Amino acid sequence: MELERISVVLRPRESREALDLGAAMLRANAGAVWSAWFAFTLPVFVLCNALGVLLGLPWLGLLLVWWLKPLFDRGPLYVLSRAVFDRAPRWRETLRGQRALPWGPTVAGLSWLRVDSHRALRLPLELLEGAPRRQRAARWKVLRRKLVGEASLLTWGCLQFELVLFLSVWLLALWLLPQEWRPVSFASFFRHDVRGAATAWTLAASAVDYLAMSVIEPLYVACGFALYLNRRTELEAWDIDLAFRRLRARLQDLGRVLCLLLCLGLPLAGHAATPAPKAAPVNTPQQVFRQPLDEGDERFAAAAAQVYRDPRFGGERHVRRWELKYSQPARQPVNTGMAPLRLLSGVFNLLLWLVLATVVAALAWFAWRWRGGLREESPPPPSGAKLSMTVDETPEALPRDVAGAARTLWQAQRRREALALLYRGCAERIAQQLQLPFALEATEADWLRHAAALGDPVRTQRATAIVRTWQFAAYAGRYPDQVAFEQLLAGWDGGAA
């Protein structure tokens, strides 16, 4: 391997420091990583959502995009594996380079390993080394040692960051909405607004989730790749190997100088000063991380293959020997530092499986409700029912003279009831003029929108004034004076309101 060309400092690091290294690698190659990411994932995102819309299941696009994360991770890993050797590829080269990476591990990641919390650490081993399955399993047992807790915490931490970004967009949109456009409660929002425009809301949720995924997933891959590099540095002493290679290069340069001093002949000196031919550039990540690449590596690979073929390697062996009955064996120090992280990793994996089962059950229930119960229209209210406008101070039936009854209540110092009666009468008159059905759940914002559709500026202005006055009184305790109240009553009998 051409470790001399590596652009990161190779030394054993703590796991948290290795995660910081992954974030630094991503920042240094942000343009190459995200250009390849969007070039690879954006068409897939559009196709998945289009398929969901065509099938009448808009939530299917959101589910498919989330499920295809192991496929999307191939792009950032390819870019970063090149970038550590000072050769960050462009997005076209990244797309063409996917053919050189194996597809078997990706198929496994999309099926029985989809909820594996160690995916970030497993990806470089499976895609870059390209070892056979049995040898890869043996290497994974060694590579994952001491890192299962960190890999699981990385998965869950990135999942939480993605969820925070997803919810933050919706909360920001909610805060920017005007007061009259906000839903009364989340229950009414999901019961009526989301149900009325299910496809649009689902596509919006899918787009927001894709953007959150686009921010976090490359960071997840970069941190996992940094953990992989750090672990291989610990196992294979890459830092020591690199130091010896640099020392050899310096000694070779010193030898050339000594040859120049000892050999007085110009041809010999010129021959000694001739630089050694450069090695061929690294073209694929497999040439960087796979063995062998030179004669020494070939010998090592042959010896390793012979060890793997040895029946004594791996497996279980039963050994029988005699020992003293009452002898006490020397106690070996037990390293319990990683035990909590291993336990936490197992708990996280169990929780991930439970979450997956819950999501599948919820989707099945939603699909059943979508086909059956949710498409049924709600029964219309009884014919004798009146509009309920969050007003409980008015009688069930409106009086014939609404203005006179409201004036009587106002003079009796029952101002809230007077404004409630006037507001209710205004709402019912708007419904009659627009020929709207009785809506038990209509709010003040709904009637403001209906008032704007009256087509008469005078009636719209008077209805808006009545609704706003009722809002100030009901929610802020601000009541109009006598003159303002009489202006609300003006023109009522003439049908202006």
Cis amide prior to 292 (ω within 30 degrees): yes
| pLDDT tens-digit series, residues 456-471 | 888 888 888 888 888 8
**Sorting pLDDT into bands at 50, 70 and 90, what band is 11?**
confident
Q: How far are the Cα atoms of 167, 325, 327, 329, 330 from residue 322, in angstroms, in the given order?
A: 65, 9, 12, 13, 17
What does the radius of gyration of the chain's CA atoms come to, in whole angstroms?
A: 36
Q: Does the residue 451 lie in any domain?
A: yes
Write out the H or E segment, with its range, that includes residue 241.
helix 238-262
Say which DSSP state 180 is in. G
What's the confidence (pLDDT) of residue 271?
A: 45
| pLDDT tens-digit series, residues 405-457 | 888 888 888 888 888 888 888 888 888 888 777 566 678 888 888 888 887 88
List the alpha helices (DSSP H) in 12-147: 15-28, 30-54, 59-67, 69-72, 74-83, 91-97, 104-109, 119-124, 133-143
| pLDDT tens-digit series, residues 351-363 | 777 887 888 888 7
What's the confidence (pLDDT) of residue 458?
A: 82
**% the chain with pLDDT above 90:** 17
Measured from the Cβ of residue 157, the count of other Cβ atoms closer than 10 Å reads 15
Q: How far are the Cα atoms of 170, 223, 246 from residue 9, in angstroms, in the given order?
A: 41, 16, 13
What's the confidence (pLDDT) of residue 455?
A: 78
What's the confidence (pLDDT) of residue 381?
A: 40
What's the confidence (pLDDT) of residue 389?
A: 40
Q: Which residues of 459-481 are buried (b: 16+ CB within 10 A; e: fewer)?
A: bbebbebbbebbbebbeeeeebe
**Sorting pLDDT into bands at 50, 70 and 90, what band is 384?**
very low
- Does residue 67 or residue 278 have the better pLDDT? 67
Q: Does the residue 72 lie in any domain?
A: yes
Q: The domain containing residue 203 runs over which residues?
A: 3-236
- Does residue 348 or residue 29 have the better pLDDT? 29
Q: Indicate whether 479 pLDDT > 70.
A: yes
Say which DSSP state 330 is in. P
What's the confidence (pLDDT) of residue 460?
A: 84
What's the confidence (pLDDT) of residue 333?
A: 53
**Sorting pLDDT into bands at 50, 70 and 90, what band is 272?**
very low
Q: Does the residue 250 lie in any domain?
A: no
Among 182, 216, 236, residue at a domain's last position: 236
| pLDDT tens-digit series, residues 43-92 | 999 999 999 989 888 888 889 999 999 999 999 999 998 888 767 888 89
- Does residue 11 or residue 334 have the better pLDDT? 11
End-to-end alpha-carbon separation of the chain, Å?
A: 85
Q: Does the residue 162 lie in any domain?
A: yes
What's the confidence (pLDDT) of residue 330?
A: 56
CA proximity to 154, closest of 247, 242, 103, 230: 230
Q: Does the residue 104 lie in any domain?
A: yes
Q: Does the residue 409 lie in any domain?
A: yes
Which of 30-44, 136-150, 358-372 shows the highest mean pLDDT? Answer: 30-44
**Sorting pLDDT into bands at 50, 70 and 90, what band is 387?**
very low
What's the confidence (pLDDT) of residue 390?
A: 45
What's the confidence (pLDDT) of residue 394?
A: 47
- Does residue 489 or residue 50 have the better pLDDT? 50
Q: Does the residue 291 lie in any domain?
A: no
**Sorting pLDDT into bands at 50, 70 and 90, what band is 309?**
confident
Q: Which residues of 52-89 are buried (b: 16+ CB within 10 A; e: fewer)?
A: beeeebbbbbbbbbbebbbbbbbbbbbbbbbbbbeebb
Among 205, 220, 236, residue at a domain's last position: 236
**Sorting pLDDT into bands at 50, 70 and 90, what band is 345?**
low
Q: Indicate whether 226 pLDDT > 80.
A: yes
User: What is the number of domains present in the chain?
Assistant: 2
What's the confidence (pLDDT) of residue 64?
A: 93
Q: Indicate whether 350 pLDDT > 70.
A: yes
Q: Indicate whether 172 pLDDT > 70.
A: yes
**Sorting pLDDT into bands at 50, 70 and 90, what band is 141?**
confident
User: Would you list the DSSP string of 333-385?
Assistant: PP--SSHHHHHHHHHHHHHHHHHHHHHHHHHHHHHHHHHTTTTSPPPPPPTT-
Mean pLDDT of 6-28: 83
Residues comprising the chain, all counted: 497
- Nearby residues of 202 by Cβ (< 8 Å), 6 or more positions away: 52, 58, 59, 61, 62
What's the confidence (pLDDT) of residue 220?
A: 95
| Share in percent of the chain as helix, strand, coil (round to 5) | 65, 0, 35
Alpha-carbon distance of 223 to 216, in angstroms, equals 11
Q: Does the residue 494 lie in any domain?
A: no
What's the confidence (pLDDT) of residue 338?
A: 54
Lowest-confidence region among 1-10, 63-72, 138-147, 360-369: 1-10
Q: Which long-range contacts (CB under 8 A, 24 or more apart) does 322-330 make?
A: none
Alpha-carbon distance of 64 to 49, in angstroms, equals 8
- Does residue 258 or residue 352 have the better pLDDT? 352
**Sorting pLDDT into bands at 50, 70 and 90, what band is 201?**
confident
Both tokens assigned to 152: 């699981």
List the alpha helices (DSSP H) in 395-481: 402-411, 415-434, 444-452, 457-476
CA proximity to 124, closest of 113, 145, 107, 139: 139
Among 177, 205, 236, residue at a domain's last position: 236
CA proximity to 24, closest of 223, 316, 204, 282: 223
**Sorting pLDDT into bands at 50, 70 and 90, what band is 379?**
very low
Lowest-confidence region among 17-21, 35-39, 489-493: 489-493
Which of 6-10, 55-59, 253-257, 312-316 shows the highest mean pLDDT? Answer: 55-59
- Does residue 186 or residue 40 have the better pLDDT? 40
What's the confidence (pLDDT) of residue 136?
A: 82
Lowest-confidence region among 130-134, 137-141, 167-171, 491-495: 491-495
Alpha-carbon distance of 240 to 3, in angstroms, equals 11
CA proximity to 8, closest of 21, 17, 19: 21
